[in-house]
Amino acid sequence: MTSLNSATGAKAAAILGFGGYRPRRVVDNAEIITMIDSTDEWIRTRSGIVERRWASPDETIQMMSVSAARKALDTAGIEPGQIDTVIVSTVTHLHQTPAVATTIASELGATGAAAFDISAACAGFCYATAMADSFVRTGASKYVLIIGVERLSDMTDTSDRSTAFIFADGAGAAVIGPSESSGIGPVVWGSDGDQASLIGQTEPWDTAVRDAEGDAVWPTLRMEGNPVFKWASYTMAKTAAEAMDAAGVRPEDLKVFAPHQANMRITDAMFRALKLPADVVVARDIARQGNTSAASIPLAIEALLESGEAKSGDTCLIIGFGAGLVYAGQVIVLP
Amino acid sequence: MPTTEEVRTGLAEIVNEVAGVPADDVQLDKSFTDDLDVDSLSMVEIIYAAEEKFGVSIPDEEAKNLKTVGDAVAYIERAAS
């Protein structure tokens, strides 16, 4: 068989910088309970959320992504022109084509970068991290910009008691590039399509819009809370443990735990199930940000680094899980 | 074979760990939601931990019928025998 050349990549890859964008508008529980029959206490107990951010019309997927990306590039000390690949993970860019990654690359000045969007729900940032790591190590890319960005509020049914208080908006970015030693552990990832009905958009745009008799009904996000909680707390804890194993990190070596900020109760249940040492720093960004799907992990990490709770060089376990069902976890070293 | 009191004590430990309810309050006649203030997410954790601790299986359709501590203890005793 003919053998072609293979590209040579870097011997190792790492995340070089994080950056985030949080929408201006703070929506507290008092405002949420004007829309649904609930209480501030119930929302806090059920999810840990005190307030969340909803994007205004000018805070588009493009705008938030570019802002988060600029911060990440700055922190990483990388020029936009050095980025040769842009991956955007989102389920709320409501425009099929062109991918928003292309115009983001363009606006940033990442001229000619390979650019594409991925749809991996709340596992999106971890999926993108795995891809970026592989691209850098196989030579497909040198510097990859990954962005998790959502306007979940565009797809939230504010009359749905079970979801109106959860979903929120924002963008988180990271720059991944070559490194002397590996700062990204092997990904443990997968899907469970048999449970696709547990979380997702109520109906496709074509049946909602084109086939509507009378006024079209805007599709929204719905979720079956209890089965998802069980899956996230236990099955995902096993995935997280496998990711630590794959990276060669023992619980006592772990410094930071930054799971997708789905629900504070899930974070706590996973922490217990993983039997992590009590001094591990736990990401609790959801309290003031809400659940921002693909953006939640990078936003949570940015917050921990900015506050000093997490430090450069800390080993950090990240795991995303969501609609699909999809999941991905890995250990990273914080830049 | 654990006695009813052993199952109750074991379950009380779990409820205490998951939901912070004092173990002594976890008596057979108490309703999880009405008396012990245990919500549906905590019930998921309690059921899971009980399955592990007692080596039984408690499918979701059965779990939702376990309204009181006594219901849960009786189910576990039957399932463990």
Which of A71-75, A77-81, A223-227, A287-291 shows the lowest mean pLDDT across its residues? A223-227
Give yes or no for A226 touching B (CB within 8 A): yes
Distance from the A266 Cα atom to the nearest Cα atom in chain B, whole angstroms: 9
CA distances from A21 to A79, A149, A285 (A): 19, 9, 13
pTM above 0.90, yes or no: yes
Average pLDDT, chain A: 97
Provide, rounded to the nearest whole percent, the portion of chain A with pLDDT above 90.
96
Do A188-333 and A13-178 fall under one CATH topology? Answer: yes
Class of domain A13-178 as given by CATH: alpha beta
Q: Report CB contact under 8 Å: A233, B48.
A: yes
Please name the helix (run of DSSP H) or strand (run of DSSP E) that holds residue A335, with its range, or none: none
Query: How far apart (Å, rounded) are the C-alpha atoms in residues A317 and A274?
Result: 11
B81 or A280, greater pLDDT: A280
A269 interaction partners in chain B (CB closer than 8 Å): 45
- The pLDDT score that the predictor gives to residue A292 is 98
- What is the secondary structure of A155-171 as a DSSP string? G--TT-TTTTTTB-EEE
Query: How far apart (Å, rounded) are the C-alpha atoms in residues A278 and B3?
Result: 34
A175-224: pLDDT as tens digits: 999 999 999 999 999 999 999 999 999 999 999 988 888 888 899 999 99
Please name the helix (run of DSSP H) or strand (run of DSSP E) that holds residue A200, with its range, or none: strand A199-201
Tell me which chain A residue has its CA closest to the CA of residue B42: A265
CB-facing half-sphere around the CA of B34: CA atoms within 13 A: 7
Estimate to the nearest angstrom the gap between the alpha carbon of A210 and the chain centroid. 31
B-facing residues of A in 85-124 (CB < 8 A) are none
Backbone angles phi, psi at A186, to 5 degrees: -60, 140
In this model, does residue A172 exceed pLDDT 80?
yes
Tell me the CA end-to-end span of chain A in Å, nearest whole number: 43
In this model, does residue A228 exceed pLDDT 80?
yes
Q: What are the domain boundaries of chain A?
A: 13-178, 188-333
Cβ atoms within 10 Å, residue A236: 26
Query: How far apart (Å, rounded) are the C-alpha atoms in residues A320 and A318?
Result: 7
Looking at residue A330, its amino acid is Q
Q: Which residues contact B50 (CB under 8 A, 6 or more apart)?
A: B10, B11, B14, B56, B58, B72, B76
For residues B3-14, give the mean pLDDT: 96
Provide, rounded to the nearest whole percent, the portion of chain A with pLDDT above 70.
100
A229 interaction partners in chain B (CB closer than 8 Å): 41, 44
Please name the helix (run of DSSP H) or strand (run of DSSP E) that holds residue A235, with its range, or none: none
Query: How far apart (Å, rounded) are the C-alpha atoms in residues A222 and A79?
Result: 40
Q: Which domain holds residue B54?
A: 4-80
CATH assignment, A188-333: 3.40.47.10
- The pLDDT score that the predictor gives to residue A72 is 98
Query: To 10 degrees, the CA torsion angle through A99, A102, A107, A113?
Result: 160
Give yes or no for B81 touching A (CB within 8 A): no
Number of domains observed in the structure of chain B: 1
A139-158: pLDDT as tens digits: 999 999 999 999 999 999 99
- Which CATH number belongs to the domain containing residue B31 in this structure? 1.10.1200.10
Name which of A332, A150, A147, A142 is nearest A256 in CA terms.
A332
Query: How far apart (Å, rounded) are the C-alpha atoms in residues A67 and A104?
Result: 10
- The pLDDT score that the predictor gives to residue A215 is 84
List the beta strands (DSSP E) in A48-187: 51-54, 85-89, 114-118, 144-151, 169-178
B20-60: pLDDT as tens digits: 999 999 999 999 999 999 999 999 999 999 999 999 999 99
Name which of A22, A27, A93 is nearest A296 in CA terms.
A22
A15-45: pLDDT as tens digits: 999 999 999 999 999 999 999 999 999 999 9
A-facing residues of B in 9-38 (CB < 8 A) are none
**Among A44, A229, A264, A266, which would you mutate to test the B interface (most chain B Cβ atoms within 10 Å of its Cβ)?**
A229
Query: How far apart (Å, rounded) are the C-alpha atoms in residues B57 and A82?
Result: 55
Give yes or no for A269 touching B (CB within 8 A): yes
Tell me which chain B residue has its CA closest to the CA of residue A42: B39
In this model, does residue B1 exceed pLDDT 80?
no
